[in-house]
Amino acid sequence: MATNPPVQFEKSEPPHTHLVRGLGLWAAIAIVIGDTIGTGVFLVSSDMARSVGSSGLVLVAWILGGLVVLLGAFCYAELGAAFPKAGGPYVYLGRGLGPLWGFLFGWMSSFLDRPVAMAGLGAGFIRFMGFFFPAVDTPLFTGRIWHQEFTFTAAQPLAAFVVVMVTGINYFSVKMSGAIQVLLTSLKIGTIVVIAFGGLSLGHQAIAAVPHATPIGWGVIRALLTALVPAMWAFNGFNDLGDLGEEIKRPEKNIPRAILLGLLIVGGLYLAVNVAYFHVLPFAEVARSPHVASDVVQGFAGSRGAAWLTVAMAVSAFGALHVVVLTGARIPYAMARDGVFFQFAERVHPSFRTPSGALLFLGVVATLLALTGTFEELYSLFVFAVWIFFALTGVALLRLRRVEPNLVRPYRAWGYPFTPLIFVLAAIALTVNLWMVRPVRSTLGLAVILLGIPFFYRWQKARGGGTTTL
């Protein structure tokens, strides 16, 4: 099978159109941690508890989830070091499986993944603020579109404003974005450490009341797979650093280091805080609590402590939104640069050296989603799709090892070929399980991806029928 040649651009680009390498190792680690830690770790343990029925299995699900994403991190670290280019998986899949696959990832990310995540995180930030200002949830007017009723509240334009503000921060400077992420990530880590330390040292020990784990069987395996879905949402983000490949200093070393170190820190924090949850609250309370972290803090620090935690959770949502914007804009930018996306997304600001066109594109789409108030339903459409592309990225690594054995690989995935194989199988298992749980929404997500195929061939034809080489 023929090997794809290196990237070649037919047109010359003036120096000011290139991105700048302004992110060092600490900023890269902060981006991995900040992108991964959002709101999930504060909320999803109750869903996991209801799925598996015991605290022991909840902790097992967190450990298994950490191991799965660690195997994926090995894959993304190798590919990110080998191809330190804007767009991340768009480049990996295009080189490893063919241009169409890279395009479909970018299409999904540009129209579903990142804009919906931006809208959802903006709304999450405002929801946390509603703890202090209940008026944000006051209905302004109600209406009906076809048979669907909707309510417009002050929270929706405020969420849109948050999206615009964070997009603006990313528009003006990549170096400033890195510094902000270091600060926000430090606050996130501090929040989780306080919950874990306070829960273990000050909370009343409730773990003795935990139900005994059931023997391992097919039913337990199905329950663990179901519990892994929210766990994987909480771990989602470890794979996004490669999107900034052209803006990281010494990417051949710093991308693998940042991915692996960042993920190990996140995994340790998640496990510690979940042990604290079950140390403070009885299992039944964890299972029925819609805000586990808040209830835990209220248990050992009172209502004032819970209020401070709400502020910290809002900061966490803001920081995650910042990283989603920072990394997501590089995907439509890379596609437009290759002639397979709307060309305005190729623009790099001559002074700020940021992908201004792509940032404005994502900002506008995400703002519209935030204003509609339908982002919660839209979010379920891309979860299924994201794990499809996780599996495809592992396949791309396996194929590249075979067809391009002489490719310069500054980092090689530990445990190859078993690590990518296990990661691919785990991603397929989670995708199939999610499709079985939510077949309609998963099918709609697949339809959105397939909708990109005619656009790909249209842009290919407009470029003269050539093949975009990545």
CATH number, domain with residue 384: 1.20.1740.10
Instruction: Tell me what pLDDT residue 18 has.
Output: 61
Q: Could you tell me the two tokens for 351?
A: 């002074």
Specify the 3-state DSSP secondary structure of 148: strand
Nearest in space to 167 (alpha carbons), one of 368, 445, 452: 368
Angle made by CA atoms 465, 466, 470, in degrees to the nearest 5: 145
Q: Is residue 119 very low, low, confident or very high in pLDDT (cuts 50, 70, 90)? A: confident
Residue 173 lies in a domain: yes
224: in domain? yes
Any domain includes 16: no
Q: What pLDDT score does 92 carry?
A: 92
Give the type of residue at 78: E
The Cα 355–Cα 378 span in angstroms is 26
User: Which range is most confident: 90-99, 144-153, 178-187, 310-319?
Assistant: 90-99
Is the distance from CB of 135 to CB of 287 less than 8 angstroms?
no
Q: Kindly state whether residue 27 falls inside one of the protein's structural domains.
A: no
In a domain, 353, yes or no: yes
pLDDT in tens, 148-169: 556 677 888 888 999 999 898 8
pLDDT at 163: 92
| Mean pLDDT of all residues in 210-227 | 66
Q: Which of 150-164, 260-274, 377-391, 413-427 comes out lowest in average pLDDT?
A: 377-391
Provide the 10 A C-beta neighbour count for residue 443: 12
Give 141's DSSP letter.
E
Residue 465 burial by CB count (10 A; 0-12/13-18/19+): exposed, middle or buried? exposed
Q: Tell me whether residue 2 is in a domain.
A: no
Does residue 125 lie in a domain region? yes
Q: What does the pLDDT look like over 24-80, one tens digit per residue? A: 888 888 888 888 887 778 878 888 888 888 888 999 999 999 999 999 999 999 998
Q: Is the pLDDT of residue 138 over 80?
A: no
CA distances from 351 to 169, 311, 345 (A): 14, 35, 17
Domain span at 323: 38-462
How many separate domains does the chain show?
A: 1
**Ramachandran assignment for 267, one of left (phi > 0), alpha (psi -120 to 50 degrees), beta (any other):** alpha
Look at residue 23 and give its three-state secondary structure: strand
pLDDT of residue 148: 54
Residue 376 within a domain: yes
Is residue 292 within 8 Å of residue 286, measured between CB atoms? yes
d(CA 160, CA 366): 8
Q: pTM for this structure?
A: 0.76
